[in-house]
Amino acid sequence: MKKLWGGRFTKSAEEWVDEFGASIEFDQELVNEDLEGSIAHVTMLSANGIISEEDAEKIKDGLMQLQEKAAKDELSYSVKLEDIHLNLESALTDIVGPVGGKLHTARSRNDQVATDMHLYLKKQVAVIAQLIKEMQEALVEQAEANVETVMPGYTHLQRAQPISFAHHLMAYFWMLERDKERFEESMKRINLSPLGAGALAGTTFPIDRYQTAGFLGFDGIYENSLDAVSDRDFILEFLSSSSILMMHLSRLSEEFILWSSQEFQFIELDDSFATGSSIMPQKKNPDMAELIRGKTGRVYGNLMGLLTVLKGLPLAYNKDMQEDKEGMFDTVKTVIGSLKIFAGMIKSMKVKKQQMEKATKNDFSNATELADYLSGKGVPFREAHEIVGKLVLTCVQKGCFLGDLPLEEYKDVNPLFEDDIYTVLDPYTAVERRNSAGGTGFAQVKLAIEKAKTLLKEE
């Protein structure tokens, strides 16, 4: 097969060399964006008198036929034609004849591929933002059902203070809110058109870059042609927003895995998101949560991979940059899959309220309440801390908990203790009373849920 750029060559590469250099295996993912970009380009060419209207119509008609074929999955690609751009140009010429060769006037694959990827990410980022929102809705739904579900809150994975389970879930709501913001803000930089930058230096033809940008729904154009074809920071930004999002999902995965263990038994994941063991009949494994935790690694890897590819590249385009695509596609697929799984897992999981509550009873996570109690009565907090610390030690030595000590024993230590300490020690009361802004008090949690719902509605 003759190369579309074959004029200058006297001999062709061996097949395996061609295969090594080709990107069609993965960049066929950009078929729709490439055709969309070509239609905008050819429309602009004729609108500005660069090619005749008649030729433009023929080309456009051919491109639209290719769009139909793509929709029906009827296009076939050849590795000999290297990439999606040359495959489509060749398919176009097969349909419309030599006039198809006019499509590439005033254009290079360098601005073409950059345009394709901007169009692609624009669509995918919108999908991802919507899926983040759906996961947030699932969190809010579970939170609403669990405002007064009391569980141990942890620091250092040691029981620290009792909290509302809804408060814990809502923590992730706000992380996701920032994640969504990051993606949406990056849209400002994705939504710029590189088209018309040519290979690197612009073109001698009287093109109108603003026109193609408008046709393609871009907000503006890259100001510098070299920058337009060699910049991939919009992909890096996408990969880093994705890495941060996946880090959040990975932390929630870890919590789901812990919570569904026999040791915690705080939740039970629905059968549809768990798997069994081929040998141990009793097993129900939180595979999906584990997999998302694991897939976080590949997204970080994709970010590091592209940063490394780009490091030290001189301007403008270099073939190294063909390596920008697989990590981007892989990340899109991973992020979309993970968000969908999570929304389903959250909605369908069973919350074991009694287990959670039980866990707050037989421990010392109410010790702060007692220290606050004393300091509320004028004892300096440091002193109160020391007193309660001693009481905890007494309990540990006796093998009991703070609520089990008789009032006399409290009074011996400090006469300020009254019998209302037993209410204060109750985990439910402990949560209820943490009514500072953003705290776990039920009233605060309800407020936060309302705020969250308003936010989701406004979007």
Residue owning tokens 């009514």: 435
Structural contact between residues 163 and 441, judged by C-beta atoms closer than 8 angstroms: no
**Contact (CB, 8 A) for 150 and 165:** yes
Q: How far is the CB of 181 from ligand ARG (least distance, A)?
A: 30
Q: Which is nearer to ligand ARG, 199 or 416 (CB)?
A: 199
Catalytic site includes residue 243: no
State which residue, 227 or 268, has the beta carbon closest to ligand ARG.
227
Q: Is 321 in the site for ligand ARG (CB under 6 A)?
A: yes
Q: Which is nearer to ligand ARG, 254 or 323 (CB)?
A: 323
Min. distance of Cβ 173 from ligand ARG in angstroms? 38
Q: Whole-number minimum distance, CB 222 to ligand ARG, in Å?
A: 16
Q: Which residue has 């907090």 as its token pair?
A: 381
Active site residue: 12, 52, 261, 277, which one? 277
In the complex with ligand ARG, which residue's Cβ is closer, 55 or 324? 324
Identify whether 277 is a catalytic site residue.
yes
Residues 6+ apart with CB under 8 A from 308: none
Q: Which of these is catalytic: 76, 156, 272, 436?
A: 156
- Angstrom distance (rounded) from CA 49 to CA 338: 48
Please identify, using beta-carbon distances, which residue of 317 and 373 lies nearer to ligand ARG.
Answer: 317
Please, what is the minimum distance in Å from the beta carbon of residue 255 to ligand ARG?
40
State the binding string over 18-37 for ligand ARG (x if CB under 6 A, else -).
Answer: -----x---x----------
DSSP string, 234-273: HHHHHHHHHHHHHHHHHHHHHHHHHHTSTTT--EE--GGG
The residue (of 91 and 113) whose beta carbon lies closer to ligand ARG is 113
Q: In 81-218, which residue ranges form alpha helices assigned H by DSSP? A: 84-96, 109-144, 165-190, 209-215
The number of CA neighbours under 13 Å toward the Cβ of 83 is 16
The partner residues of 285 in beta bridges, in order of sequence, read: 275
Site string for ligand ARG, 30-69 (x = CB under 6 A): ----------------------------------------
Which are the contacts of 408, defined by CB distance < 8 A and separation ≥ 6?
A: none
Residues 85-144 interacting with ligand ARG (rule: CB under 6 A):
109-110, 113
Q: How far is the CB of 3 from ligand ARG (least distance, A)?
A: 12
Using CB under 6 A, which of 256, 273, 317, 373 touches ligand ARG? 317
Distances (CA, A) of 245 to 156, 176, 199, 339, 379: 23, 7, 35, 10, 44
Q: Which one of the spans 52-60, 119-127, 314-322, 342-350 is the region binding ligand ARG (CB under 6 A)? A: 314-322
Two structure tokens written together for 41: 């380009």
For the four alpha carbons of 122, 127, 131 and 133, in that order, the dihedral sign comes to positive
Q: Which residues are catalytic?
A: 156, 277
In the complex, the residues that contact ligand ARG under the rule CB under 6 A are 23, 27, 83, 109-110, 113, 317, 319, 321-322
